[in-house]
Amino acid sequence: MTRSALILCAAWLAAMATAIMFGSVPLGPERVLAAVSGMGSAGDQIVIWQIRLPRALAATLVGAALGMSGAALQGLLRNPLAEPGVLGVSASAALAATTALYFGLVSAGPLVLPLAAITGALAATFIVAAAAIRTRSVVTLILIGVGLSSFAGALMALLMNLAPNPFSLADMVNWMLGTVANRSLDDLMMSAPFLIAGMAMLMSRRRGLAALSLGEEAAEGIGLDLRRQRLMVILGAGLATGGAVALAGAIGFVGIVAPHLVRPFVRYDPARLLLPSAMLGAVMLVVADIGVRLLPTDAELKLGVVAALVGAPVFIWIAARRRSVGA
């Protein structure tokens, strides 16, 4: 294991420990260890096992999926501005999820919501991939992503405007703004298979992403099946992003910030970028969720709002550093 991976593992463990100990009622290390071992009070065990641990694990899975998806899409499209949120994938997944909520389809079974989110994510990713095949302009791809996000946002606003009752409206707002609050271990088990399958598909194509850094013609020359590579990355990113949206709603910019921060430490190698990006994305969301819980606000801020407040300026900084965005 590399030094950067060890540092990220240590950072994640520290973030998880902090997430378990701190909240509206802080718990000291002794109380946490007692509750984890089953020797603590019933209240402490409920707080840790049913509230804080599932919430921290949800932030971990979502951050890891978004970080890895962003790194994979950047490698596939060969530009550092690509990520599920910027390209409209997260918004499309959230639209599909809120549509299922609006029409009451979730009552048909527990798999309806994750399947709806994944379908929306895959549809948007296929559109972006088709555009990437026709044009190599980053500006065009970003504009398509902005268009998808705007259209999905408009449709979500329409659904919210037509919400039949305040409860449906509250559910749709949660998916639109993104949160891991009130997530249970059952919610994790429902979305985890899609998240893990998507990330496994992306990891299986990491060597192909490294080959693509040489250019499509050179990659084909060394035996890479470009069509299969695109399909596997698209399906993997769609599954991972859809599962993340099904678990936490729309959370943007993690997929662009995490790979950008990690890239110099892996010598700009796309094959080595996926796992560290996932680890840093997990750390970022766990830390952000700790901040959401500890901020002295009357109502708890949504995790997607905090991620956007931090990620949007970083995205602008990354775009401004590029000498030629359209190159």
Provide CATH code, domain 68-321: 1.10.3470.10
What pLDDT is stored for residue 188 in this prediction?
A: 93
d(CA 312, CA 228): 33
Model confidence at 323: pLDDT above 80: no
- Say if residue 177's pLDDT is above 90: no
Confidence of residue 139 (pLDDT cuts 50, 70, 90): confident
Q: What is the mean pLDDT of the segment spanning 11-20?
A: 95
Burial 171-203 (b: 16+ CB within 10 A, else e): bbbbbbbbbbeebeeebbebbbebbbbbbebbe
Q: What is the pLDDT of residues 64-86, one digit of tens each?
A: 999 999 999 898 888 787 888 87
What pTM value is reported for the model? 0.89
What is the distance between the alpha carbons of residues 246 and 283, in angstroms, rounded to a whole number? 20
pLDDT given for residue 23 in this prediction:
84
User: How far is 325 from 115, CA to CA, in rounded Å?
Assistant: 35
DSSP secondary structure code for residue 241 in this structure: H
Q: Which residue has the tokens 């992306």?
A: 202
Contact 73, 235 (CB under 8 A): no
Identify which of 58-67, 121-130, 170-179, 188-197 has the greatest average pLDDT.
58-67
Q: What is the distance between the alpha carbons of residues 190 and 209, in angstroms, rounded to a whole number?
A: 29
Give the pLDDT mean for 209-231: 85
* Sign of the four-CA dihedral 102, 103, 104, 106: negative
Contact between 238 and 121 (Cβ < 8 Å): yes
Maximum average pLDDT range among 65-69, 105-109, 111-115: 65-69
- How far apart CA 121 and CA 240 sit, in angstroms, is 9
pLDDT exceeds cutoff 90 at 137: no
Annotated domain spans of the chain:
68-321
> pLDDT exceeding 70 applies to what percent of the chain?
97
